[in-house]
């Protein structure tokens, strides 16, 4: 039989270990929550979702102002998620139109395309019509999805002045009182909700090429 002092030391060490593990869990949880709540002050300082991570629970609005459960949609088909600044952005409109060139190929591979912006549903309809889009546009007007995926940043006052000069009102377009935009990005997500590819461009003039999208999509299916 083990001496009582050895048994005591064993349980004491086990107790300390349990306490340390509990503290570690609390610290990790707090860090995760605080980082998710922090919004970058510029496009270069975002902390986007990483390859291998799973999408959190996300509900947006479609062009008809109805709730759209993104997780349910992703569970049906592998998905190309596109984040863009809004229908007022010429670079975004060019990119949305460019995606039409590979839409049929992606659909044939079993993928779906979903593009997300802060635009409220009314402006989604206008973008779909003007760019002759056949794929889904969703409204993240409160920026909850962009925040959750680490893509949101606060637009600085100088940039807002430039927007105003060109007649652009991002708060009016979103229908929300915030100064937030998403960094343009492309994510590939499998049917388990796991991110398999990311392309994030802090420079809003830079967009992913169709060739890179197709290569990444093909790699996901291998």
Q: Would you give the end-to-end CA distance of the chain in angstroms?
A: 58
Per-residue pLDDT of 63-110, as tens digits, reads 999 999 999 999 999 999 999 999 999 999 999 999 999 999 999 999
Q: What is the pLDDT of residue 9?
A: 54
pLDDT at 37 over 60: no
Query: d(Cα 60, Cα 185) in Å, to the nearest integer?
Result: 17
| pTM of the predicted protein model | 0.83
Three-state DSSP state, 152: strand
For residue 49, is pLDDT > 80? yes
Residue 24 has pLDDT above 80, yes or no: no
Residue 193 pLDDT > 90, yes or no?
A: yes
pLDDT of residue 14: 53
Phi, psi angles (nearest 5°) of residue 81: -100, 125
Mean pLDDT of 176-181: 93
Mean pLDDT of the chain: 88
- Compute how many other C-beta atoms are within 10 angstroms of the C-beta atom of residue 173: 19
Q: pLDDT at position 22, please?
A: 47
Give, as one character, the DSSP assignment of residue 48: -
Please indicate whether residue 117 or residue 16 has the higher confidence score (pLDDT): 117
- CATH code matching the domain that covers 39-221, chosen among 2.60.120.380, 3.40.710.10, 3.40.30.10, 3.40.50.300: 3.40.30.10
Is beta strand 152-154 parallel, antiparallel or unpaired with respect to 180-182?
antiparallel
pLDDT, tens digit, 9 for 90 and up, residues 111-150:
999 999 999 999 999 999 999 999 999 999 999 999 999 9
- The per-residue pLDDT for 34 is 39
Answer whether 193's CB lies under 8 Å from 54's CB: yes
């Amino acid at each position: 039989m083990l001496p009582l002092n050895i048994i005591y030391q064993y349980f004491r060490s086990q107790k300390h270990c349990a306490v340390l593990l509990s503290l570690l869990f609390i610290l990790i949880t707090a860090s995760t929550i605080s980082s998710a709540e922090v919004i970058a002050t510029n496009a270069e300082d975002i902390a986007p979702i990483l390859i291998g991570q799973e999408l959190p629970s996300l509900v947006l609005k479609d062009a008809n102002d109805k709730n759209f459960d993104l997780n349910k949609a992703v569970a049906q088909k592998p998905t190309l998620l596109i984040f863009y600044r809004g229908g007022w952005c010429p670079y975004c409109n060019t990119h949305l139109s460019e995606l039409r060139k590979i839409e049929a190929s992606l659909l044939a591979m079993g993928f779906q395309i979903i593009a997300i912006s802060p635009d409220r549903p009314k402006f989604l309809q206008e973008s779909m019509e003007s760019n002759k889009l056949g794929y889904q546009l969703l409204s993240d007007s409160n920026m909850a999805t962009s925040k959750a995926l680490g893509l949101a940043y606060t637009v600085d006052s100088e940039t807002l002045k430039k927007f105003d000069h060109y007649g652009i009102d991002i708060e009016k377009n979103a229908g929300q009182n915030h100064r937030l935009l998403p960094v343009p990005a492309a994510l590939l997500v499998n049917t388990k909700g796991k991110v398999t590819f990311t392309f994030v461009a802090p420079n809003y003039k830079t967009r992913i090429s169709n060739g890179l999208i197709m290569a990444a999509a093909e790699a996901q299916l291998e």
